């Protein structure tokens, strides 16, 4: 395993077992690896951008002393019920794309570490009426933030054939994305597609290969679009370099190649701009980040056996210079 601690790290308590409620809502992946990667100083200010069941947050709190602070974001109100009774924690029920704005609101200018464990929680996936899982029949919703207006059904209803085609191709790597888009457009003109079963019935003739796998890819694409997951990730990354203290760490866990590529490239370059171009004064842009994990950290054998979700998890860590 990569040694991710820098010299300033002190000896750390081991992570206590998380309680059953936390584990039922969501089992945290790469937990020890994240804690190592964040290189937590006990009196620091940390941000968990994706609180969920609070597994990572509780582990961070265990490494903070009474002067430490943890600001946690989750755009899903359901996550609130997992908040521990701990004065050091502040809950921000918002999209992490507004990181800097809400830190400012809480009078926090700089932080010592930022964690994001992307995607949906097991809770969201297991709640039938959230519409994330092909295992159930429910309205095609897929909003992590229920205050948001657009659902998966709206996308299937309103996107053009080309938009649907590109979405399934880029976000789901669906092999017959074009045919799928064409079928949806044809079927929706005959009857509305509002539920998971209506969708499965409408497209069953064009399902390719293993239906489970096929629909998983299709649903991934819809979920990414509904929640603008890649847009939010990019906005988050751009703000990390504005709020991290020198020596502060950013640790991101991704679950598919599109996200991982975005994180990898941003950590390497420190920007999404074209860095080959000098600014108006002829200064070359210098990456404010130092990559800590040259290769992504993945789950070990034990975790892979215990938690299937860890199979696709990749952790990357960078440090503010
Ligand atoms: C994979 S789970 C995190 C699990 C958590 N680390 C734990 O140990 O329980 C992702 C969580 O982040 C939230 N989330 C995803 N994208 C978000 C975003 N852009 N802004 C705020 N919350 C987000 C989801 O609602 C979900 O609860």
- Cα 144 to ligand 1 centroid, rounded to whole Å: 9
CA distance 237 to 264: 11
pTM score of the predicted model: 0.93
Q: Please state the three-class secondary structure of 142-169 as a single string.
A: CCCCCCCCCCHHHHHHHCCHHHHHHHHH
- Cα 52 to ligand 1 centroid, rounded to whole Å: 5
Q: For the purposes of burial, counting CB atoms within 10 Å of the CB of 92, is it exposed (0-12), middle (13-18) or buried (19 or more)?
A: buried
Residues with CB under 6 Å of ligand 1 are: 26, 28, 50, 52-56, 73-76, 79, 95-97, 117, 119-121, 144, 232
| Tens of pLDDT, residues 244-302 | 999 999 999 999 999 999 999 999 999 998 765 566 677 778 999 999 999 999 999 99
Which atom of ligand 1 is nearest the CA belonging to 123? 27
- Helices (runs of H) and strands (runs of E) counted in the chain: 13, 7
Q: Check pLDDT > 60 for residue 12.
A: no
For ligand 1, atom 3: residue with the closest CA: 52
- Cα 201 to ligand 1 centroid, rounded to whole Å: 31
Q: Check pLDDT > 90 for residue 19.
A: no
Residue 285 has a pLDDT of: 83
What's the chain's average pLDDT?
93
Which atom of ligand 1 is nearest the CA belonging to 52? 27
Residue 16 has a pLDDT of: 53
Q: Check pLDDT > 60 for residue 17.
A: no
Residue 7 has a pLDDT of: 43
CA distance 289 to 270: 6
Which atom of ligand 1 is nearest the CA belonging to 116? 6
Residue 126 has a pLDDT of: 94
Confidence of residue 11 (pLDDT cuts 50, 70, 90): very low
- Cα 186 to ligand 1 centroid, rounded to whole Å: 35
For ligand 1, atom 1: residue with the closest CA: 121
- Cα 211 to ligand 1 centroid, rounded to whole Å: 27
For residues 169 and 222, the answer to whether their CB atoms sit within 8 Å is no
Which atom of ligand 1 is nearest the CA belonging to 121? 2
Confidence of residue 15 (pLDDT cuts 50, 70, 90): low
Query: Which residue shows structure tokens 């997992």?
Result: 82
| Tens of pLDDT, residues 38-84 | 999 999 999 999 999 999 999 999 999 999 999 999 999 999 999 99
CA distance 209 to 221: 17
| Tens of pLDDT, residues 158-200 | 999 999 999 999 999 999 999 999 999 999 999 999 999 999 9
- Cα 51 to ligand 1 centroid, rounded to whole Å: 6
Q: Check pLDDT > 70 for residue 14.
A: no
């Amino acid at each position: 395993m990569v040694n991710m601690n820098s010299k300033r790290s002190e000896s750390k308590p081991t992570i206590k077992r998380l309680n059953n409620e936390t584990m039922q809502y969501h089992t945290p992946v790469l937990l020890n690896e994240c804690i190592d990667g964040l290189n937590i100083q006990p009196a620091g200010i940390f941000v968990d951008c994706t609180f969920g069941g609070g597994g990572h947050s509780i582990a961070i709190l265990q490494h903070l002393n009474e002067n430490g602070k943890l600001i946690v974001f989750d755009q899903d109100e359901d996550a609130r019920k997992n908040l521990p009774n701990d004065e050091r924690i502040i809950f921000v029920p918002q999209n992490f794309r507004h990181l800097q704005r809400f830190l400012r609101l809480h009078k926090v200018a700089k932080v010592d570490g930022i964690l994001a464990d992307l995607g949906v929680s097991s809770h969201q996936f297991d709640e039938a009426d959230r519409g994330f899982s092909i295992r159930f029949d429910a309205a095609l919703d897929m909003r992590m933030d229920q205050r948001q207006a657009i659902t998966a059904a709206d996308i299937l209803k309103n996107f053009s054939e080309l938009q649907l085609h590109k979405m399934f191709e880029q976000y789901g790597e669906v092999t017959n994305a074009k045919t799928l888009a064409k079928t949806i457009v044809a079927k929706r003109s005959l009857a509305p597609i509002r539920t998971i079963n209506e969708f499965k019935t409408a497209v069953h003739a064009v399902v390719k290969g293993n239906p489970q796998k096929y629909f998983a890819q299709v649903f991934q694409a819809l979920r990414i679009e509904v929640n603008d997951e890649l847009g939010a990730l990019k906005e988050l990354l751009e703000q990390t370099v504005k709020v991290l203290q020198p020596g502060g760490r950013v640790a991101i866990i991704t679950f598919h190649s599109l996200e991982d590529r975005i994180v990898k490239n941003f950590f390497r370059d420190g920007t999404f701009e074209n860095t080959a171009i000098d600014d108006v004064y002829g200064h070359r842009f210098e990456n404010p980040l130092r990559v800590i994990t040259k290769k992504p950290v993945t789950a070990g054998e034990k975790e892979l056996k215990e938690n299937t979700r860890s199979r696709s998890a990749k952790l990357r860590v960078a440090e503010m210079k």
